[in-house]
């Protein structure tokens, strides 16, 4: 599968220290960014860059008055506590965390440094905030409400492929949000008369054996949890070889070969995160900033993939699509 070219120099510009000789230490604000997928992935970098550009629009620019320390785990959840400790030692003023595992690691490490979360499902249930309206502590940010999205995505998949009933779920038990999903999503599937199959993938070494086990159960659809983002190319290549449609929560997968996706725009999510970071740098209390939820879900359908798999997407679904890839 072809991937868009990525200019390595872009990462160097992101992670390099930005404090020049003419800048005093007090003039440069320091923000940590802890993510799951590497910035060498073009889509991940584009999402991060939306965050960076939004900060610039709020008056915080690298090379002038901002330093961003970035750390990504390459899908290994156990790296997050070390990243957070490193950022606390470096006196980051705000820590941005992508996903539930990174956010929980940050919350466990500090009750004082502001934490702005991106793309975290069920922050109340995970104990990250007291309530969405009044977080109350040092954590705020943006939720993805993946439970609701999963139900809607399953409905679209069932309408698009009514003859397919065996659906393979891929999750990561090391991730708190994913661990909850692997229990709730199969229940949603059964309510829709679908037959769920589940496999667990905690790291890169477990991916191929898990896919092999899943294949033995003859799945007719793959539905990976968002924590599988870092394995996107391998999962989509595997699914293409075995002619199994993939559905996912974010449009980047549909553009790379999944049959369809339904979920929030991650670039917009990170632009909004930057607005919260700017407000906090300007003196706002994170406990007073309500946790925001997505107001729009984007449906993307890859008709090229549908034709390759011999799947005819109903006009009723195509008519609702925000984007159709041909």
CATH of range 146-263+298-325; options 3.40.50.280, 3.40.50.720, 3.20.20.70, 3.40.50.2300: 3.40.50.2300
Q: Write out the residue limits of the CATH 3.40.50.2300 domain(s) in the chain.
A: 9-144+266-288, 146-263+298-325
| Interhelix angle 80-89/100-109, nearest 10 degrees | 50
Q: Within 10 A of 220 (CB to CB), how many other CB atoms are there?
A: 16
- Per the model's pLDDT, the better-predicted residue between 55 and 13 turns out to be 55
Q: Reply yes or no on domain 9-144+266-288 having CATH 3.40.50.2300.
A: yes
**In the predicted structure, residue 312 carries a pLDDT above the cut 50:** yes
pTM (global) more than 0.75: yes
User: pLDDT-based confidence at 103, cuts 50/70/90?
Assistant: very high
Residue 310, sorted as left (phi over 0), alpha (psi -120 to 50) or beta, turns out to be left
The mean per-residue pLDDT over the stretch 161-184 comes to: 82
User: pLDDT-based confidence at 298, cuts 50/70/90?
Assistant: very high
**In the predicted structure, residue 122 carries a pLDDT above the cut 90:** no
CB-CB contact of 239 with 250 (8 Å): no
The mean per-residue pLDDT over the stretch 80-86 comes to: 97
Bridge partner residues of 261 (DSSP) = 248, 300
Q: In what order do the strands lie in the sheet with 195-200?
A: 195-200, 166-171, 221-224
């Amino acid at each position: 599968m072809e991937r868009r070219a990525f200019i390595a120099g872009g990462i160097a510009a992101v992670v390099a220290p930005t404090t020049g000789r003419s800048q005093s230490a007090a003039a440069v604000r320091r923000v940590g960014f802890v993510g799951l997928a590497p910035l060498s992935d073009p889509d991940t970098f584009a999402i991060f860059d939306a965050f960076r550009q939004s900060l610039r629009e709020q008056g915080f620019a690298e090379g002038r008055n901002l330093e961003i320390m970035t750390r990504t785990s390459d899908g290994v959840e156990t790296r997050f506590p070390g990243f957070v400790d490193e950022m606390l030692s470096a006196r980051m003023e705000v820590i941005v965390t992508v996903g539930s595992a990174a956010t929980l690691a940050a919350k466990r490490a500090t009750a004082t440094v502001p934490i702005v979360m991106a793309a975290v499902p069920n922050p109340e249930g995970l104990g990250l905030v007291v309530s969405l309206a009044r977080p109350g502590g040092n954590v705020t940010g943006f939720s993805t409400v993946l439970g609701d999205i999963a139900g809607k995505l399953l409905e679209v998949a069932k309408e698009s492929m009514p003859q397919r009933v065996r659906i393979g779920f891929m999750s990561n038990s090391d991730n708190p949000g994913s661990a909850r999903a692997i229990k709730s999503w199969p229940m949603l599937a059964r309510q829709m008369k679908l037959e769920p199959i589940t496999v667990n993938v905690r790291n890169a070494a477990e991916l191929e054996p898990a896919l092999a086990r899943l294949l033995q159960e003859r799945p007719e659809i793959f539905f990976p949890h968002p924590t599988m983002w870092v394995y996107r190319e391998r999962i989509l290549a595997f699914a293409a070889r075995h002619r199994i449609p993939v559905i996912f929560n974010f449009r980047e997968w549909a553009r790379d070969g999944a049959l369809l996706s339904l979920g929030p725009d991650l670039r917009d999510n990170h632009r909004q995160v930057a607005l919260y970071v700017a407000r906090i740098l300007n003196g706002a209390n994170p406990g007073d900033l309500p946790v925001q939820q997505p107001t729009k879900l984007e449906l993307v359908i890859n008709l090229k993939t549908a034709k390759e798999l011999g799947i005819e997407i109903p006009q009723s679904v195509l008519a609702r699509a925000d984007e159709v890839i041909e």
